Amino acid sequence: MKERILYMKRRIIRLFTSALLTGTMVMTMGGMSALADTEGAISSIELKKVVTTDGNTYAPNTTFEFKIEQGNGEGSTSIGGQTFLVQPGVEGGLVLDQANQFSFSPVQMNQIADSYTADGKINVDIDKFTAPGVYHYTVREVEPELDQKYDGILYDNKVRNVYVFIQNKEAGTGLECNYVKIVKEGEDSKSDLTFTNNYGQGEGDNDTTHDVTITKSVTGNQGDKGRAFTFTAEIKSSNEGEFYKVVLEKKDGSNTETIDHMESGKSETFTLKDGESMHIYGLTQGDTYTVSEEDYSKDGYITTIDGKQIAAENGKVTKVGNVKVDGETIKVENNKTVSTPTGLALSFGPYALMVGLAGVFGALFLRKKRDEE
């Protein structure tokens, strides 16, 4: 009899505990509905990729990848003053939309801007969930191996913790996602799935894209400052398919002309007069420039680049190098100096002097003769 009474007590306790847990879950999920930012069921989450620049650099020619993983489900998260236990994400519950376009191209984005953006989304596959709860996922950008990284790009390597709230539908059967909370690694405040990569915006370590200016000066007493000297320039990029902004700056900055773009691996021909320059933007450390001027030695010019006289090869005077800082300058000078032709005066000077003296003596002799008469 005692054993039966004890059994009944234990059964009542279990039923009460079960009812209490069930009630708590119902009340909790009802609270989750009140916290939803978006009316109705959530079927997708916005995923955005942004690349920032210095405003003088074309979009990179690359593709960015993302990875979704099931979270560890440890601990809890709080929303609106309520605390929820979390569990690992259900496999396949969040999937990248096949239409996501995270490829950037200077051709497709044929304009220069402070930033470039590609939009995509992550779909919520509600059919993969079998019970209400708060499910934890992580979303991160896949950072390439060192030898595969795009030169000049600083990747966003912070993980985003994504908490997906799944509840019973208010009407009918089945489940729905009614709230998503996103928190960036190392932060507490709510965030979003915007991943920003730096491509030369800022200073110090963030300044990964640079510019170079080719300046022209004509000197010497016979230098023709109004003459247009012909150049070619080429950038060999460590990244394939890059474009570079090019600006021709006229003398005294009175006029400038922007070339649409200089494509990596293709030479650009241009002319510069004394006091003019060519400005190239968007180079990274792995880029190699080749700047050549036609050989004008047959016209009496001596060409120096950055103060050094360079012998012509294949009809051109050339410099090859890399740009590692902003504001680098390549100074090209053409000097034509001719000695003053003083030899003629030295050769005929004595004879002219003798003729002059003879004239003086002749005048004196004639004057004396007149006086005697």
Sheet arrangement for strand 115-124: 94-96, 115-124, 44-52, 194-198
265-300 burial code (b ≥16 CB/10 A, e <16): eeebebebbbebbbbbbbbbeebebebbbbbbeeee
pLDDT at 24 over 60: no
Give the pLDDT score at 64: 94
SS3 143: coil
151 vs 17, which has greater pLDDT? 151
Give the pLDDT score at 7: 45
SS3 12: helix
pLDDT at 161 over 80: yes
Give the pLDDT score at 88: 96
- Mean pLDDT of the chain, nearest integer: 84
> What would the mean pLDDT of 195-217 be, rounded to a whole number?
94
Give the pLDDT score at 26: 36
Q: What is the pTM of this model?
A: 0.77
pLDDT at 37 over 80: no
* Segment 337-360, tens digit of pLDDT: 998 776 544 454 555 556 555 555
Give the pLDDT score at 23: 39
Confidence of residue 253 (pLDDT cuts 50, 70, 90): confident
- Find the range with the poorest average confidence among 60-69, 121-130, 169-178, 334-343: 334-343
Give the pLDDT score at 15: 40
198 vs 373, which has greater pLDDT? 198
186 vs 321, which has greater pLDDT? 321
Determine contact, residues 191/44, Cβ cutoff 8 Å: no
> What would the mean pLDDT of 301-312 be, rounded to a whole number?
95
pLDDT at 134 over 50: yes
